[in-house]
Amino acid sequence: MTYRLLKRIRVILSIVVFFLLTFVLVDFTVSLSTEAVKSLLYLQFVPSVIRFTGIVTLGSAGFLVVMILTLLFGRIYCAFLCPLGTLQDIISRMSRYFGKRRKVFRYRRPDRFIRYTVLGGVVILLALGHIILLELADPWSLFGRMVSGLLRPVVYGINNLAVHGLEAAGSYALYPVSMKGYSWLSAGVSAGMLALVGWLSFTRGREYCNTVCPVGTLLGFVSRISLFRIRLDETLCNSCGLCGASCKAGCIDTVSRKIDHSRCVMCLNCLTACKQKGIHLVSVTFHRRRSAPEYSLGRRGIIRNGMALAAGLFTLQGGQKSRGGGRRGERTPVKREHHATPPGSKGFEYFNDRCTACHLCVSACPTHVLQPSLLEYGLAGMMQPFMDYGASFCNFECTVCGEVCPTGAILPMTPEEKKQIQLGTARFIKDNCVVYTDGTACGACSEHCPTKAVQMVPYWGGLTIPKVTPEICVGCGACEFACPTTPKSIYVEGHTVHQQAREPEVEQVTRPDTGDDFPF
Amino acid sequence: MKRREFIRNGTGAGLAAWAAMLTGNLNSFFASAIPWQGGAYDLVAVKDGEPEAMFDKAIESLGGMGAFVGKGARVVVKPNIGWDVPPERAATTHPGLVRRIIQHCLQAGASQVHVFDNTCDKWNNCYTHSGIEQAVKDAGGTIVPGNAEGYYQEVQVPGGRRLKTTKVHELILESDVFINVPVLKHHSSADVSIAMKNLMGVVWDRGWWHRNDLHQCIADYCTHRKPDLNVVDGYRVMLKNGPRGVSVNDVVTLKTLIISTDIVAADAAAAKVFGKEPSDVPHIATAHEMGVGTMDLDKLNINRIKMQG
């Protein structure tokens, strides 16, 4: 009974965490405070590690908590804190209802080659300054991209349908939300990963967690020596195989009566499956002598890992590449060398080193200017969010991305700080400007500029034309977004390292001299 | 009257009516046809009071809100909520004024009062930080989003020279009464932003306006649907760095309010308060020339009210 209760607690916790994390990834109203979002993400392992390397505080030490928990109870991160784990559990569970025979899990030999190649690759690549493998394999980020790329549009669609329905009934209680700038490619990659992870979990439970996931592998090292572990009581076990059939991790070898603790995800299914009461969750100190067989990498494994790594590295070349800013044609096309990185990210290198592309900021960004990149940052930064000024612009007062970013790739900033972070500077292309080509007034760029870095200055015949003061430009992209021409007449050239913008000069205006009376 | 004279006059009147209908200018045709009635003002200007009190005075001298809003009428109020800045920056209409107008509408028997703007900055931040969302709720109106193309329907602009069609928020098309509540401020594109410029917030495709002779498009749109009443908020006035402004230093307190059914006249009077000649503002001059309204303030019956002294 106790085991049943424990398992139920695990299931409920996992569902609650799963629901909350899914919610923050689709919640376009940002209805939870960013503090709440932050505490929800506190125990997400990879974001916490990265954050810790940047800001060594208790607030970023969630991964240490996970480590301690793992040391005590095994991989409970995988059991109910990891949303991708729960997603796989849900899919495994659904697999029961398909096929003729009731599906059962079975013991699998560990795939050490892939396991250690991925983890080793992640570590070595990180040491070399490439985050991409971690970005691709980290369960939280994978999950984030799946929800942000695949579920979010569905939620938006349902919301927008509901808006229409209510509107027809004369109510404006809900509001529509735009999918402008949505990255099909990033969503496609996520769909592919979902298919892979989904298929793995459909056919063999937590296979992803125990072959690919670098967090699973790393925590597996710790869970081997954890205080509490699952134990087979060899005096009671009759090798009936029930526990093995219930084991999502496929880590119970019921024939030789051995458990691979490095792969046990602490789902506790086996505890309730055993009819002999021959499997228990016990403190290891009382069972020291019956320790599990150790799996070691071996010399051959190390060589194979090294080869895989080299192959991986080879494919990761490529720096920042630019994507053309507009249609080619009669006018001067935008030739942007660098896309801007989000405010608070210090610049390309800092951001590129720390962002695992979980797309939480993409989901939370109120103006939807943050969009997953394709090759805007080069191959190594694929899917990391960039400032997509074709889709939107950065709202001057807003600091949401820095508040929600779990890895610290986008650092928190006060509105005052943010208003002086220069992501890039506006460049004016006179050849494309309406004032020049048509001789009519426009000024949309200057209108939207929050610092008046884009000013309208006298041109001819009462017309005014934009002029950029780069020192006070923050690179928010409002000018670029508002510019009505194709190709754009003004665009933001991103900085590789963010600069400090000068504060705009302010001077108190004086009231027009119209006397005490009405001027008419 | 001889027969020939009668025919000539009839034809002339018919032609004038036809021309007026073509330009969507039927109101001004009748206005010129019906002799001026004593006591009715074309424009009311109030000075030196709080926004709410100034509006009370102004609407009273136009015969009260009941002259515009009938029992059960559906009203749409269109303030300027374009920017994510606090009220003291004067980039958005004074929330107290918006609140007061809604209260008057409801007292006059309006069945509903909707408020919206197609904002420039992130719309819900604008609604909140301008203080207007709260003001609308306090007064019993309904704040409505204007952030998606789905709310906007394509319409013909009958008298448009450049702007022939545009996409207009459904509330402008569905409401019985349309009250335009701009804030008077400097504008980097349109020189000044007053009542006509404020109507850029009822359309979706304003980028097209910018691309195709902005001033002409602003004047053109007024031939689609002119507001039934224009209330110009000149309490705090942004004199430079408009329309968004950079700091409170761009703002002076002028404590002025102008209301008129004639959108061009309202703009002309407000431009003068701003310190600009109406004829120097292309969209005001163009609208006047097109017969949308008049900027000749000398020819209007103006009630000037000073609240103190």
pLDDT for A513 equals 74
Provide the pLDDT confidence category of residue A310 given band limits of 50, 70 and 90.
very low
Average pLDDT over residues A112-140: 92
Share the mean pLDDT of chain A.
Answer: 88
**Distance, in angstroms, between B10 CA and closest chain A CA?**
38
Closest CA to B139 of B101, B166, B169, B170: B101
Comparing alpha-carbon positions, the chain A residue that sits nearest to B215 is A441
For chain A, positions 83-112, list CB contacts with chain B under 8 A: none
Provide the pLDDT confidence category of residue A392 given band limits of 50, 70 and 90.
very high
Provide the token pair at B247.
Answer: 């700091």
Residue A471 in 3-state DSSP?
helix
A160-169, A322-331, A440-449: the lowest-pLDDT one: A322-331
pLDDT for A286 equals 52
For chain B, positions 48-107, list CB contacts with chain A under 8 A: 84-85
Question: Do the beta carbons of residue B244 and residue B83 sit within 8 Å?
Answer: yes
pLDDT for A156 equals 95
Residue A356 pLDDT exceeds 50 = yes
Closest CA to A348 of A134, A141, A144, A131: A131
Q: Which of B47, B77, B117, B121 would you mutate first to test chain A, the one with the most A CBs within 10 A?
A: B121
Provide the pLDDT confidence category of residue B225 given band limits of 50, 70 and 90.
very high
Question: Do the beta carbons of residue B98 and residue B59 sit within 8 Å?
Answer: no
Q: Inspect the interface and report whether the beta carbons of B244 and A440 lie closer than 8 Å.
A: no
Total structural domains in chain B?
Answer: 1
**Crossing angle of the two packed helices A83-95 and A139-146, in degrees rounded to 10:** 70
Question: Do the beta carbons of residue A453 and residue A468 sit within 8 Å?
Answer: yes
Residue B21 pLDDT exceeds 60 = no
Q: Inspect the interface and report whether the beta carbons of B304 and A518 lie closer than 8 Å.
A: yes
pLDDT for A84 equals 97
Rounded CA separation A249/A266 (Å):
9
Residue A278 pLDDT exceeds 60 = yes
In this predicted model, which residue has the larger pLDDT, B109 or A299? B109
Count the neighbouring beta carbons within 10 Å of the beta carbon of residue A243: 27
Average pLDDT over residues A226-234: 90
Average pLDDT over residues B114-127: 95
Average pLDDT over residues A384-404: 95
Average pLDDT over residues A463-469: 96
pLDDT for A304 equals 53
Residues 6+ apart with CB under 8 A from A282: A228, A229, A231
Q: Inspect the interface and report whether the beta carbons of A395 and B187 lie closer than 8 Å.
A: no
**Distance, in angstroms, between B165 CA and closest chain A CA?**
17
Average pLDDT over residues A205-217: 94
Tokens 């004199």 correspond to: B239
pLDDT for A55 equals 74
Residue B5 pLDDT exceeds 80 = no
Q: Is B234 on the interface with A (CB under 8 A)?
A: no
Residues 6+ apart with CB under 8 A from A281: A3, A6, A228, A229, A230, A231, A268, A271
Residue A287 in 3-state DSSP?
helix
Share the mean pLDDT of chain B.
Answer: 89
pLDDT for A147 equals 97
Rounded CA separation B206/B218 (Å):
10
Average pLDDT over residues A99-112: 81
**Distance, in angstroms, between B29 CA and closest chain A CA?**
25
Tens digit of pLDDT for each residue in B49-73? 999 999 999 999 999 999 999 999 9
Question: Do the beta carbons of residue A486 and residue A327 sit within 8 Å?
Answer: yes
> E strands within A336-489?
370-372, 385-387, 421-428, 454-458, 464-468
Q: Inspect the interface and report whether the beta carbons of B190 and A452 lie closer than 8 Å.
A: no
A228-232 and A279-283 beta bridge pairing: antiparallel
Q: Is B186 on the interface with A (CB under 8 A)?
A: no
pLDDT for A162 equals 94
Q: Is A503 on the interface with B (CB under 8 A)?
A: no
Q: Which of A440, A467, A472, A507 would you mutate first to test chain B, the one with the most B CBs within 10 A?
A: A440
pLDDT for B25 equals 44
Residue A473 pLDDT exceeds 60 = yes
Q: What letter represents residue A230's amino acid?
A: I
Q: Which residues of A touch B121 (CB under 8 A)?
A: 395-396
Distance, CA of A65 to chain centre: 21
Q: Is A447 on the interface with B (CB under 8 A)?
A: yes
pTM score? 0.85
pLDDT for B16 equals 47
Q: Which residues of B touch A511 (CB under 8 A)?
A: 239, 252, 254
Closest CA to B270 of B308, B297, B241: B297
Q: Inspect the interface and report whether the beta carbons of A452 and B241 lie closer than 8 Å.
A: yes
Average pLDDT over residues A351-368: 94
Q: Inspect the interface and report whether the beta carbons of A482 and B215 lie closer than 8 Å.
A: no
Intra-chain end-to-end CA distance of chain A, in Å: 89
Q: Is A460 on the interface with B (CB under 8 A)?
A: no
Q: Is B271 on the interface with A (CB under 8 A)?
A: no
Comparing alpha-carbon positions, the chain B residue that sits nearest to A479 is B120
Q: Inspect the interface and report whether the beta carbons of A440 and B240 lie closer than 8 Å.
A: no
Q: Which residues of B touch A156 (CB under 8 A)?
A: none
Tens digit of pLDDT for each residue in B239-270? 999 899 999 999 999 999 999 999 999 999 99
pLDDT for A303 equals 53
Residue B36 in 3-state DSSP?
coil
Average pLDDT over residues A111-134: 92
Question: Do the beta carbons of residue B126 and residue B81 sit within 8 Å?
Answer: yes
CB pairs under 8 A between A and B: 138
Rounded CA separation B130/A384 (Å):
34
Average pLDDT over residues A207-231: 94
Q: Which helix (H) or strand (E) holds A164?
A: helix A152-168
CATH of the domain at B116: 3.40.50.11440
Average pLDDT over residues A9-38: 92
Rounded CA separation A62/A39 (Å):
9
Comparing alpha-carbon positions, the chain B residue that sits nearest to A434 is B211
CB-nearest partner of A520 from B215, B244, B297: B297
ipTM of model: 0.84
Distances (CA, A) of B235 to A58, A426, B52: 50, 34, 10
Provide the pLDDT confidence category of residue A233 given band limits of 50, 70 and 90.
confident
CB-nearest partner of B189 from A441, A508, A512: A441
Domain that holds residue B161: 3-306
Residue A368 pLDDT exceeds 90 = yes
Residues 6+ apart with CB under 8 A from B143: A172, B114, B115, B116, B127, B132, B133, B136, B137
Comparing alpha-carbon positions, the chain A residue that sits nearest to B247 is A506
Question: Do the beta carbons of residue A334 and residue A488 sit within 8 Å?
Answer: yes
**Distance, in angstroms, between A354 CA and closest chain B CA?**
28
